[in-house]
Amino acid sequence: RRRAAEDHLRKPAMTTDGTPVRVLVNIADPADVDGIDITTCDGVGLMRTEFLFGKELPDEETQYRAYRKVLEWAVGKPVTIRTIDAGGDKPVPGFTVEESNPFLGLRGIRLSLARPDVFRVQIRALLRAAMHGNLKVMFPMIAVPEEYARAAALFAQEARNLADTGEPHSIPPLGIMVEVPSVAIAPELFSDAAFFSIGSNDLSQYVMAAARDNTAVAALNSVTTPAVLRLIASVAEFGTRHAISVSLCGDAGGDPAAIPHLLEAGLRDLSVAPAQLALAKVAISGVRL
Ligand code: PEP
Ligand code: MG
């Protein structure tokens, strides 16, 4: 099995009946890419930037260097960096607030929009890093279209500020995570977004009302439950009809038991934990669509 997995790692992923599937990796620490051969994956589908915010709020230069490192490693393959998704299961000291129900509170894009002082620093670092590769940026926990519009407006404003000071920059495609059910149910409200990436970890916890960090309800929290799968399939179908790319970057993407269902639902782009890359490719090769 190990030999088979290594074999698959070197080749592009494809189903038994020849449908290509792109397999990207999820990373957090920029150092994560040091152990990954770029030729074994199709890029980075999710860079979680919360890691950078671990101890203190990182300055623009620290963030710029971190993003640039990953973009240069990817040599032109797409790198999707997610703006900070603090809160919920990812508290950041000095940034997130005390709440009685953090999963339903001020997390992800909500907190970034509430703290433009912090968000603008990240935006400037991303705009500058975009010069060094194939960057895409996505916003976490989008629930209403206004959040996307406000975040995109901040990108436009900061781009103008950088232009005023002659700083090289470019505005990357701006997409959204599909992880709050309001987006999965009414994706047509979000068609300004350049792309969708399904966050199955949060989507399933919010659809099933089963916390992702509570093992007592882990059995309920499954992407292969009919309600969650139906939502995923309808988002994939919406994307096909409106030429908006739809990928998935939750842990289910690397789960061999879930992969046949996700491909059946119409997904062709999965972003997985690096440790799952080979297994995911093997699982894809066994699927007949
Ligand atoms: C998700 O919710 O599926 C996801 C990819 O984001 P995170 O696990 O970082 O919340
Ligand atoms: Mg999430």
Ligand nearest to the CA of 82: 1
Q: Cα dist. 195→199, 229, 241, 246, 257 in Å? A: 13, 19, 13, 6, 26
Over its length of 289 residues, how does the chain's per-residue pLDDT go in tens digits?
777 778 889 999 999 999 999 999 999 999 999 999 999 999 999 999 998 998 789 999 999 999 999 999 999 999 999 999 999 888 898 899 999 999 999 999 999 999 999 999 999 999 999 999 999 999 999 999 999 999 999 999 999 999 999 999 999 999 999 999 999 999 999 999 999 999 999 999 999 999 999 999 999 999 999 999 999 999 999 999 999 999 999 999 999 999 999 999 999 999 999 999 999 999 999 999 9
The binding site for Mg(2+) comprises 179, 202
Say which residue the tokens 């409200």 belong to.
189
At 6 the pLDDT is 82
At 43 the pLDDT is 98
At 240 the pLDDT is 98
CA 201 to ligand 2 center in whole angstroms: 6
Contact between 232 and 258 under an 8 Å Cβ cutoff? The reply is no
CA 163 to ligand 2 center in whole angstroms: 33
Which of the following is catalytic: 109, 249, 252, 258?
249
Is the ipTM reported for this complex over the cut 0.95? yes
Distance of alpha carbon 279 from the chain centroid: 20
CA 249 to ligand 2 center in whole angstroms: 9
What is the rounded distance in angstroms from the CA atom of residue 86 to the CA atom of residue 159? 24
Ligand nearest to the CA of 90: 1
DSSP annotation string for 160-229: HHHHHTT----PPPEEEEE-SHHHHH-GGGGTTSSEEEE-HHHHHHHHHT--TT-GGGTTT--TTSHHHH
Q: What is the pTM of this model?
A: 0.97
